[in-house]
Chain A
């Protein structure tokens, strides 16, 4: 069976699987962005306890593997009476893991905003929250988007792991078809190509566009 007949026969299966992968990716990104904002700001707090909590969280998630966290959430939490559906467990593991990496990016972004901006906001008698919300945060997007784009690609690649906790994503379908037909090169090859297309031709251009947009919003871009 050549590659094209393979695509015609199994294409629909791969398409629906790619949609699952995209779903997991989008949910995890939302969770990861939220977590990285919260912990990135907590990491900069002057309060010792808040800072310690954020540091412990970040070091913990960066110190262990994603796959172990995912298996722990999916296979061990039910033993404590907390069974989670596979999708939720996968999204939680991905979001919390990449949230920890994102928090560092976010923190670096906040620190990279010039000091004059902080002083200016203070001089204009902005409250702490207003200063963060109106002055600092809008300026960090052009700074954090390039490293965030790298993380997003990593996250997309990380979604392949949810196949190991029984979610029917691209990797799962590729494995399944490989087991049924032994067209290994075709099934895994097609999965690789779909991942590549998703990363290179959809995700990365979108993030580049966001970068340009963010740079223009703060008046740094080429208009």
Chain B
């Protein structure tokens, strides 16, 4: 069986797909914002010296990191109602993405903080700076450029994982492609267009992140080798 690409039909469904792309952006953006905050919490939890907080956090992070996002999505979606929490698909999706990528971002933050040379901390101690001044003026400005590539990669990563949300019924791009396909029995154009839209968005983003990384490194006086 040979199927031909129908251009006029693909232009017909294009507006619908582009609207759905906005939902994908929304999902990725909100998910990333939650993940960025959750990441800070996880990072703090892992860095404190209290063993009661520090060990469970590490185990939770390890668990979330080594299990599939898809299973986690279904877990949250089906189990939360059993505890009386009826959440919409969107809320479930955002919680799961936030937690899942929060663990990754916590590693990025941790790596960035540890990437600041130890002598910087010692110099701050020697100069008698307060802890908050030390973080605000000395450590974070140096840690941030180290974190940028990792944070950027996970932004693209979240964006590429949003199609998974279609499985629990979040109406984003892939969901729309599926429903167009189910309605018309033509899967060639919708699926291919989803792929192209993803490519068109994530390639320039990845390129931009690489540029940003170089710019920040230069501004910091580090030569990008």
Residues of A within 8 A of B (CB): 59-60, 62-69, 71-72, 75-76, 78-81, 153, 156-161, 163-164, 170-171, 174-175, 178, 184-185, 188-189, 191-192, 195-196, 199-200, 204
Contact = CB atoms under 8 A, between A and B. Distances in A.
Contacts of A75: 181, 187, 191
B54 interface: no
Contact of A81 (B1, B72, B195): B1
Interface residues of B, number: 37
B125 interface: no
A160 B1 contact: no
B109 interface: no
B67 A79 contact: no
Given A178-B74, A192-B72, A63 B66 contact: no
Given A65-B160, A65-B161, A72-B195, A79 B70 contact: no
Interface stretch (B43-51, B75-83, B131-139, B143-151): B75-83
A79 B188 contact: yes
Interface of B: 1-3, 62-63, 65-72, 74-75, 78-79, 82, 160-164, 167, 174, 181, 187-188, 191-192, 194-195, 198-199, 202-203, 206
Contacts of B206: 62-63
25 contacts: A62-B202, A63-B199, A64-B195, A64-B198, A64-B202, A65-B161, A68-B194, A71-B191, A72-B192, A72-B195, A75-B191, A76-B187, A76-B192, A78-B1, A79-B2, A79-B188, A157-B68, A159-B68, A174-B71, A184-B75, A184-B82, A185-B79, A189-B79, A195-B67, A204-B66
